[in-house]
Structure 1
Amino acid sequence: MPRTPRPAEPEHASQPSETTAAAPRTRTGAIDRAVQIFDALQEANHPVTAYEVARTLGAPLSTVYSIINDLVEKNLLARTLEGAIWFGSRLYGYGLTYASSLDYLTVANEEMHRLSAQVEETVQVCGLEEGMMVVLQMAEGPGHFRVTSRVGSRVPLNWTASGRLLVGHLPDAERVAFFQKHAKPSPTGRSETRPEVLAQIARDAFQSRLSIQIGESDASVACLAAPVLDKAGDCVFTISIVMPESKAEQGAERFAHALQDVAARIEARLGWQHRTPEAAP
């Protein structure tokens, strides 16, 4: 005869709540791992194998395989013909929706392409993300000079002209603490890493509405950047010109004026804070 299931004993009544309480930690762990996978792909900037992802993250291969399989099924990741992993079409759709909701990026994109055509150099729009400078948009110049950073690239703030401007509006103590936490040596060994010095450089650049970096993150590469300020006077993003170091050393004045003009025009179009007369180019 089939057995009649026994009712749960009183002392086991707490088990469902313990299981329920543990579930969010499991889900959160999986979400964190998925974000780490996305970050690893973005950092690599090309399709990689699941094994390479697991090695980069220092995570169990079986765990990474399982999460990747789930993400592939949902079109958040995709597999190449060779079996490598890359971003899926669903993420592209999310990105388009997100970008279309940000009016300031629409305006910045228009001005970025206009400036690139004017100066005939690569122009980037950059923002701040988790202590790093991230390239939000980019218009390549018509010449043969090419930069290694692409849309989505993340770089330590102390390596870049834009990075310093992005925290230039912060109070002194916050800027110092920020660089204490996030400053890193650059591949060229020429980037400043002392927090107090960086904090002062950032403040001076912000007040002059212009930041210049030559050869600190990439040899033979120079970058000029201007901040775009919101109504509160905070730097929301920057617009920058990337060019050969030799060209910047010959004279960057016209590039600086063009940058500051474009930054002021973006602020005016968005109805944000206008430049003060002292800061105007």
Structure 2
Amino acid sequence: MGQVPAARRALAVLRLLAGSAGPLPASAIARSLELPRSSTYHLLTAMAEDGFVSYVPEERRWGLGVAAFEIGSAYLRHGPLERLARPLLRRLVDRVGEIVQLGVLHGAETLYLLKEQPPRHATLVTDVGVRMPAQLTASGRSMLAHLPAAQVRALFPGPFVDRTGLGPASLRELRRELAGDARRGWSVEDGHITAGFASIAACSFDHTGHPTAAITVTFRRESRPEEGWPALAAAVRTTAADLTARLGGHPPARRPSR
């Protein structure tokens, strides 16, 4: 147990370096983490010996080491997001009787990682591994709604694409829709991807409050009147919140109006 404080300091160094634009001087690391300079140098030296940080002598700065990269790569190999989400998606399918998907942002696109559906249900174009324009999908918009305005602007310089003639056609329209989605806590698309189908999505967050993934329910438009959509959205939001808890995350602080 005597090693726990040292372990926490090492993890804090890794998180600080991971969130920095580049390597940092030891003095900046000590200041940011409120550590004594001497302890910081000893800690960095020990971490460098195990490959978790590396020293750039020409710049007198410290950055992440190869061991940190290997751990990140192993995380991706283990597929923890999918493993944590799959049982939640299955429970949501049982609850609502519709197709449920897990998507993540991949640049300006939504990438679908998982799909669960009831038996003998219609197949959708948004299958696992498929990418769709994020501004057209409920899952994409539910995540975009929690990104800084500058990041959204960088992702969508224009022109905007569409599949069915529906959806935002400009950055101004997209921002207006995202502001409404953020206030409501869920997103909806109605025929933007496939005519006759609608989707409702809610976002899950990581430990920094950053949007990590979105859970989406997709259904035939004619089978669910609009007055029932808020109740469906509540079930989706509950599942997204459960995934956030499994990820050790939390919702972000409220952003100023876009």
Is this a same-fold pair by TM over 0.5?
A: yes
Aligned-partner Cα distance in 2 for 1:237–1:140: 18
Counterpart for residue 144 of structure 1: 121
Q: Deviations over 1:207-231 (max 9, x none)?
A: 4320011111210010000000112
Q: Report the CA distance between 1:193 and its aligned residue.
A: 1.5
**In structure 2, what residue type is equivalent to 1:104?**
L
For residue 214 of structure 2, the aligned residue among 238, 251, 262 is 238
Counterpart for residue 105 of structure 1: 82
Is 1:225 equivalent to 2:201 in the alignment? Answer: yes
Q: Deviations over 1:187-212 (max 9, x none)?
A: x1112221111023123313432001
Shift of the 117–182 alpha-carbon distance from structure 1 to 2, 3 Å rule, reads: farther
Counterpart for residue 177 of structure 1: 154
For residue 197 of structure 1, the aligned residue among 167, 173, 189 is 173
Check conservation: 1:120, 1:142, Cα contact below 8 A: no
Counterpart for residue 261 of structure 1: 238
Aligned-partner Cα distance in 2 for 1:274–1:234: 8
Gaps of 5+ in 2: 1-73, 254-258
Check conservation: 1:165, 1:211, Cα contact below 8 A: yes
- Please give the root-mean-square deviation of Cα atoms over the aligned residues, in Å: 2.3
Aligned-partner Cα distance in 2 for 1:144–1:105: 22
Q: Report the CA distance between 1:134 and its aligned residue.
A: 0.8
Aligned-partner Cα distance in 1 for 2:88–2:195: 28
Check conservation: 1:116, 1:122, Cα contact below 8 A: yes
Aligned-partner Cα distance in 2 for 1:267–1:173: 25
Q: Greater RCO between the two (CA within 8 Å, min separation 6)? A: 2
Equivalences, count: 180
More helix by share: 1
Name the TM-score, length of structure 2 as normaliser: 0.63
Check conservation: 2:204, 2:240, Cα contact below 8 A: yes
Is 1:133 equivalent to 2:110 in the alignment? Answer: yes
Higher Cα Rg, which structure: 1
Aligned-partner Cα distance in 2 for 1:121–1:237: 19
Gaps of 5+ in 1: 1-96, 277-281
% identity of equivalent residues: 27
Name the TM-score, length of structure 1 as normaliser: 0.59
Shift of the 233–181 alpha-carbon distance from structure 1 to 2, 3 Å rule, reads: farther
- Identify which range, 231-240 or 100-109, moves more after superposition: 100-109
Shift of the 275–258 alpha-carbon distance from structure 1 to 2, 3 Å rule, reads: farther
Check conservation: 2:215, 2:236, Cα contact below 8 A: yes
